[in-house]
Structure 1
């Protein structure tokens, strides 16, 4: 059987009808150069050797899989496990592709890294990569997210990044992407726009997935070693969807493993109250690629809301849209209340404070465990919650009750 990863996407970046690269003419040669450099460099012995060294000796990989015994006992039914990307350096999965993108940029002769960020984890990771490689770094971040994620703002500045506040529109992740694209046009000769998820024009959905695949490779081997079999369910939160594609990629050819992406339903199903793109969206274009999009009455990307800034996006990675349409993955949701309850439950029952983004997947596992007695659920715990503790305690106290 031919591996899924070897056949998806197509050479022009399509997963079925989703993906591609719809770019202004001035950026077409730059994205083509990135795609060509990735094809040429990523399989070279030098690149693979350097990336393996970084992952082991700088990032601290492999991260472990932990059995969540107390949470499993409380929820009843399925046994719950977590892939601990919160223990990756900088506290989230984002560094997996940021270090690789920075290494690629160095091979291309670039001197600067640029990106958008929502919760700040991608911004921190890219600032870390820039510091490691001695490169400049420019991060665009919405004003709402700057206020919510103050610890990560401080970390980015300490790491030497230039932070660009974005004050137009919804002042969140979508606008940060818009702002960064505008800035990148004038700097494309010397800078790499290190897109922060499996979104954007080709080759980024493919590149970021492949750089995040290390999560799935490790998790598959670790789970087999721990239990002697594969998990029945693998689940991860989905905004753009990089952490989910990273772990899904390790199990995507295993038909007996069910894949669940968990979207943020916010405070209600009303447009503007959530960011559950696959659940409530439709086909459309955003930021230079075809995918599923939440649209307003005029057909434009709609305003969105979620307690988790890193999931605050009205689109989704094109591969997730494809996996949904093909039926290989199922997309469900957790709302703000469930995510907050899971945030407190994992903290108090397991001694692990999760990122609010990751807490959506924890909430799903807690909700579904009782429906799968004798089965196993593996969560991709995509990040730690240090960045969220001030926001959570100031707005919701310490008890997890809204």
Structure 2
């Protein structure tokens, strides 16, 4: 890859919010003033020491950062080959990486005088994080969640309601993350005066993809320092699961200029990448189009209609991907692969048995790919995967697929 591409990574999108041919801002005229206002507020905050002081104080004393970089010794011995580390972001307050970004957005919302926060959620972790921070700051919180996800993520629905959020089941489409985001955008158009839309991933209209990435980059920045402390050098390979892609971009971005670091994103392969679209692997089985305010890779038919993907994981069940991932895929800086439901379930069980860590189904996809490649790599190869969420929210789903009766 040409050196000038590596030198450009840390600069982010161009002034139109584009990562190469992807990204941009495809929204209604009603939303444009609010989007521009958000962009201006974030540009101001980026160079405001008081903003980052508040962020770091909350990351430290409320979220519990830095999260540990954990050497998975038993897993490493079992697999043979590469030395496997886990970035333990499931140990954050609320149990996932989502709160890293939510704090930043809600601090911006307060600075903009917004009193009502809306969000979309699939696995429920972004909804829980949003409800949590809204409770802390005394803000009204409304979370849109697909009806299908409400059913399979019942523990997180209860948590959101305990925290004071109104959870609105979305019955349109297949009742998953895409449909929840559609309804959240409709709400935002209707209530622009007092409402802030807290998007949970590196998608949506500019500046959301870059802004969410910047907040999540605390993950990769910590890994750089922690790996230097543990091994005296940078990791050789980074692996993270991808739905929209915020946990992955948070891990990847601080390493994009390091040519020696191999980067792998893992999409949801569902029942297998096939013509029936029984998967959510947008880069593997999709093509470019426009959805939710940005241009990126999407699952769509020949007429450009968005198709309903499928994954056992509610957080990966999205028919698109963040535009920066689309760009990294096209220029070859990152490799993107897919993992099936069956493979993710195997990784889930192995992690429980060997490391005493119950992972969410999302990072179980990343771990499944670790299981594939670690045995092929030398013993001095340093591999870091992002354990981006804990699995208590998924125990009912896993039990059902494994044929375990939870009523016993």
TM over 0.5: yes
Residue in 1 that maps onto 2:202: 198
- Partner Cα distance (2:7, 2:221) in 1: 14
- Partner Cα distance (1:292, 1:223) in 2: 33
Residue in 2 that maps onto 1:82: 86
Aligned length: 399
Are 2:71 and 1:62 equivalent residues in the alignment? no
Please list the CA deviations of residues 141-164 of structure 1 after superposition, one character each: whole Å capped at 9, or x if unmatched.
Answer: 001100110000000000000111
- Partner Cα distance (2:359, 2:311) in 1: 16
- Partner Cα distance (2:340, 2:283) in 1: 14
Please say which of residues 41-50 and 361-370 is displaced more in the overlay.
41-50
Are 2:189 and 1:185 equivalent residues in the alignment? yes
- Partner Cα distance (1:363, 1:168) in 2: 32
Measured after TM superposition, the shift of residue 78 of structure 1 is 0.9
- Partner Cα distance (1:141, 1:19) in 2: 24
Query: What CA RMSD, in Å, does the superposition of the two structures yield over aligned residues?
Result: 1.3
Q: 2:146 aligns with which of 142, 146, 150?
A: 142
**CA 1:4–1:64: 2 relative to 1, 3 Å:** farther
Residue in 2 that maps onto 1:349: 354
Listed as ranges, the matches of 1:248-267 within 5 Å are: 248-267=252-271
Q: 2:391 aligns with which of 385, 390, 394?
A: 385
Q: 1:223 aligns with which of 222, 227, 248?
A: 227
- Partner Cα distance (2:397, 2:285) in 1: 27
Measured after TM superposition, the shift of residue 12 of structure 1 is 1.4
SS of the equivalent of 2:159 reads helix
SS of the equivalent of 2:238 reads strand
Q: Is the 8 A contact 1:21 1:288 kept in 2?
A: yes
- Partner Cα distance (1:3, 1:158) in 2: 47
Residue in 2 that maps onto 1:41: 45
Measured after TM superposition, the shift of residue 398 of structure 1 is 6.2
Q: 1:323 aligns with which of 321, 328, 345?
A: 328
Are 2:312 and 1:304 equivalent residues in the alignment? no
Q: Is the 8 A contact 2:10 2:256 kept in 1?
A: no
Q: Is the 8 A contact 2:361 2:391 kept in 1?
A: yes
- Partner Cα distance (1:175, 1:156) in 2: 19
Please list the CA deviations of residues 215-273 of structure 1 after superposition, one character each: whole Å capped at 9, or x if unmatched.
Answer: 00001110111111111100100110000000001211111000000001001222331
SS of the equivalent of 1:249 reads helix
Residue in 2 that maps onto 1:367: 372
Which consecutive residues of structure 1, in runs of 5 or more, have no partner in the other structure? none
**CA 1:367–1:175: 2 relative to 1, 3 Å:** same
Measured after TM superposition, the shift of residue 11 of structure 1 is 1.4
- Partner Cα distance (1:52, 1:8) in 2: 22
Q: 2:297 aligns with which of 289, 292, 317?
A: 292
Please list the CA deviations of residues 111-153 of structure 1 after superposition, one character each: whole Å capped at 9, or x if unmatched.
Answer: 1111110000000000011111110101000011001100000
SS of the equivalent of 2:76 reads helix
- Partner Cα distance (2:108, 2:46) in 1: 8
Provide the TM-score with structure 1 as the length reference: 0.97
Q: Is the 8 A contact 1:138 1:164 kept in 2?
A: yes
- Partner Cα distance (2:35, 2:372) in 1: 42
Q: Is the 8 A contact 1:4 1:252 kept in 2?
A: no
SS of the equivalent of 1:269 reads coil
Listed as ranges, the matches of 1:116-155 within 5 Å are: 116-155=120-159
Which consecutive residues of structure 2, in runs of 5 or more, have no partner in the other structure? none
Measured after TM superposition, the shift of residue 3 of structure 1 is 5.5
Provide the TM-score with structure 2 as the length reference: 0.96
SS of the equivalent of 1:35 reads helix
Q: 1:376 aligns with which of 377, 382, 390?
A: 382
Residue in 2 that maps onto 1:277: 282
Please say which of residues 190-199 and 2-11 is displaced more in the overlay.
2-11
Are 2:377 and 1:358 equivalent residues in the alignment? no
SS of the equivalent of 1:250 reads helix
Give 4+ residue runs of structure 1 displaced > 3 Å after superposition. 1-6
SS of the equivalent of 2:309 reads coil
SS of the equivalent of 1:119 reads coil
SS of the equivalent of 1:319 reads helix
